Structure 1
Amino acid sequence: MDISAENILRQAIFDHLDEMVRDTGIVTRQQLQEFSVDGEIHRLIDHSRGIRNPKAMLATLSILSNPKGRYADEELTESLFSYAYREGSTAGDNRKLRRAYELQLPFILLRKIDTGVFFPVFPVYAVADDPENRRFLIALDKSLLSIDDPLHLRPLERRYAERVTKQRLHQPEFRGRVLHAYGVQCTVCNLKHGGLLDAAHIIADTKPHGSAEVDNGLSLCKIHHAAYDLNFLGISPDYEVKINETLLEEKDGPMLRHGLQAMHGRTISLPSKRSDKPSRERLSERFEEFIAAH
């Protein structure tokens, strides 16, 4: 396959993958293994290795990043990942990733969020090969291919990289993790349509302690997310939904009556994993804001 044909195939894969993850932001191992474009299977993940190097392709198609894995993959700056060489020589599995760097071919970064569940980031690019430290540097945006020194960004480049990374990695990965934890449903009303769900921060991410951790998140449908942000809806540290008293007294159409007023006093649905459940301390702090707002 020549490089032109490979670029076309990769773009077709990215387009189809984008459609697949649009609603929930996540993809399963089975979906990655059975992934097809125009009736042809293109496996996007290896059975046992953290890198997918299809024989028919010139370069790596995907790499796996596992925060709890054995390799020293890490977010290096606001815009780059350090992806460790596979074990052994600098060749082997690393050879095709090196070709992706040399040919500037885009590929997929699969961020593991649970067993058999991944958040895909694509397209990403290898922007440096660092044999001394046995690693590749991976950029989340094509524009960084033209930067002379990706590890030492100028102020304007850094601000751009921070914005891109927040938009392409931190925000969508947080959404994927939160929706997965809540079983892709609104914690207040149990709506199960992923395209209508958001991941809401309990403590806003504009605050120093508003971290993008699942226990600082709530899976909310768009109406309940807006109501939560505007303090029309609150959630107590005992997981009880409260609707602002003024709103409870209003008379309007069925959306107000059934969508908000009927939620008053309900207990939210919680994630099955204890570590994913919303922090009572965070909920308490946020609930004080709800009380003070009206």
Structure 2
Amino acid sequence: MRSALEDEIDRRLRAEAMAWLDDKTSNGAASVTRTELSNFMFDGERLPLIDPQQGIRKPRQLSAALSILTTFTRPGRSAPYNDVPGEDGMMRYKWRGEDPNHSDNRALREVCARGLPLIWFVGAAPGVFHAIYPVILVAEEPEQHQFVVSLEQGSSGEPTTFHAPPRSAPERAYADRMTRQRLHQPVFRARVLEAYRTSCAICHLRHSELLDAAHITADAQGGIPQVSNGLALCKIHHAAYDANILGIRPDLVVEIRRDILHEKDGPMLLHGLQEMAGVTLRVPSARVDRPHPEALEDRYAQFVAAA
């Protein structure tokens, strides 16, 4: 049986780890490296937030897991574990192996039983992670060797209590939206920014707080959440791209809408948009991460039609 002191250490460790991540990632705007995660300190002792060899981290100070990890997998390769949404729209996290009594699986079961907040590290690149927290394990599905992960937070910032899997169409749509907002969109952004070396592909601005991952083909049009369907753009160029003020040709050259080129509206318009006409995009060095030519062509056709 746990003592009050053990419960206090557990509460404090989780709170300090998440506060440390707030500072390290600028409240989720930046990714964090494996090296950085290995240097977290608690009560004067180094306490890595991820395990060097496996996906489930339970420090010796705790009886329950502190974090889970989904490793980065290159497009076209098979992930070692398939952490995907279920029919209810909620995410799943796989057991370690098939033994329900493995110590890691027991550590996750303890988190689930006590409703403890957990940190989920999702790979953005080799050795680089996007941190999603707090998440909560709300159920176990033993036959599928997995736990159900809720990404929902209440207004207080604490994880909400899970009552029943969402079943109706509105509930499923809500769960899907929550998953996109707290998992898919931030992970997509982290992976795109990592591939573009945290730099706007057009103007080369390098402040991560001012950078977005712009979709070439939108989600609503069947766009896939892969780096090849994204562009790292600063907020002004992202907004201009979405509004068809700025277009990108299939040969990666930027165009600015003709009427905008002839406007006179101060230095922001001049230097931020008009002078970008004719600039060639700076793209990732890895060929698999470069913008997909067919997606660029389709998106450029929309720009031409709107212009």
Q: Is TM more than 0.5 here?
A: yes
Alpha-carbon distance, 1:24 to partner: 4.1
Deviation per CA, 1:96-150: give whole Å up to 9, x if none.
Answer: 1111111111111111232101122111112122333332222222568633433
Match of 2:152 in 1: 141
Distance of aligned partners of 1:198 and 1:38 in 2 relative to their CA distance in 1, 3 Å threshold? farther
Match of 1:261 in 2: 274
Determine if contact 2:200/2:234 at 8 Å carries over to the other structure.
Answer: yes
- Specify the code of the residue in structure 2 equivalent to 1:128: A
Separation of aligned partners in 2, 1:136 and 1:237 = 43
RMSD: 2.1
Match of 1:54 in 2: 59
Question: How many residues end up aligned between the 2 structures?
Answer: 292
Aligned residue among 232, 236, 250 for 2:245: 232
Three-state SS of the structure 2 residue aligned to 1:57 is coil
1:74-113 map, 5 Å: 74-77=84-87, 78-86=89-97, 88=99, 90-113=101-124
Distance of aligned partners of 1:192 and 1:97 in 2 relative to their CA distance in 1, 3 Å threshold? same
Separation of aligned partners in 1, 2:181 and 2:238 = 19
- Specify the code of the residue in structure 2 equivalent to 1:85: R
Aligned residue among 5, 9, 16 for 2:13: 9
Separation of aligned partners in 2, 1:107 and 1:119 = 14
**What TM-score results when the alignment is normalised by the length of structure 2?**
0.87
Determine if contact 2:115/2:137 at 8 Å carries over to the other structure.
Answer: yes
Please, which moves more after superposition, 107-116 or 265-274? 107-116
Separation of aligned partners in 2, 1:19 and 1:46 = 21
- Specify the code of the residue in structure 1 equivalent to 2:23: E
Distance of aligned partners of 1:126 and 1:291 in 2 relative to their CA distance in 1, 3 Å threshold? same
Aligned residue among 132, 147, 155 for 2:143: 132
Separation of aligned partners in 1, 2:175 and 2:110 = 24
Separation of aligned partners in 1, 2:267 and 2:97 = 58
- Specify the code of the residue in structure 2 equivalent to 1:283: L
1:74-223 map, 5 Å: 74-77=84-87, 78-86=89-97, 88=99, 90-141=101-152, 146-150=161-165, 153-207=167-221, 209-223=222-236
Determine if contact 2:119/2:131 at 8 Å carries over to the other structure.
Answer: yes
Deviation per CA, 1:227-265: give whole Å up to 9, x if none.
Answer: 111111110000001111111112231111111111110
Separation of aligned partners in 1, 2:23 and 2:161 = 29
Determine if contact 2:90/2:148 at 8 Å carries over to the other structure.
Answer: no
Determine if contact 1:127/1:145 at 8 Å carries over to the other structure.
Answer: no
- The percent of aligned pairs where both chains have the same amino acid is 44
Separation of aligned partners in 1, 2:160 and 2:167 = 12
Separation of aligned partners in 2, 1:225 and 1:43 = 36
Distance of aligned partners of 1:123 and 1:44 in 2 relative to their CA distance in 1, 3 Å threshold? same
- Specify the code of the residue in structure 2 equivalent to 1:203: T
Determine if contact 2:244/2:306 at 8 Å carries over to the other structure.
Answer: yes
Alpha-carbon distance, 1:64 to partner: 1.3
Distance of aligned partners of 1:12 and 1:219 in 2 relative to their CA distance in 1, 3 Å threshold? same
Structure 2 unaligned runs (5+)?
Answer: none
- Specify the code of the residue in structure 1 equivalent to 2:279: R
Three-state SS of the structure 2 residue aligned to 1:2 is helix
Separation of aligned partners in 2, 1:156 and 1:107 = 27
- Specify the code of the residue in structure 1 equivalent to 2:57: R
Three-state SS of the structure 2 residue aligned to 1:74 is coil
Distance of aligned partners of 1:70 and 1:230 in 2 relative to their CA distance in 1, 3 Å threshold? closer
Match of 2:83 in 1: 73
Three-state SS of the structure 2 residue aligned to 1:265 is coil
Separation of aligned partners in 1, 2:233 and 2:82 = 34
Check if 1:287 corresponds to 2:300. Answer: yes
Match of 2:34 in 1: 29
Separation of aligned partners in 2, 1:147 and 1:89 = 22
Distance of aligned partners of 1:101 and 1:260 in 2 relative to their CA distance in 1, 3 Å threshold? same
Alpha-carbon distance, 1:72 to partner: 4.0
Deviation per CA, 1:184-230: give whole Å up to 9, x if none.
Answer: 000000000100101111122222x2222211111100111111111
Alpha-carbon distance, 1:39 to partner: 5.6
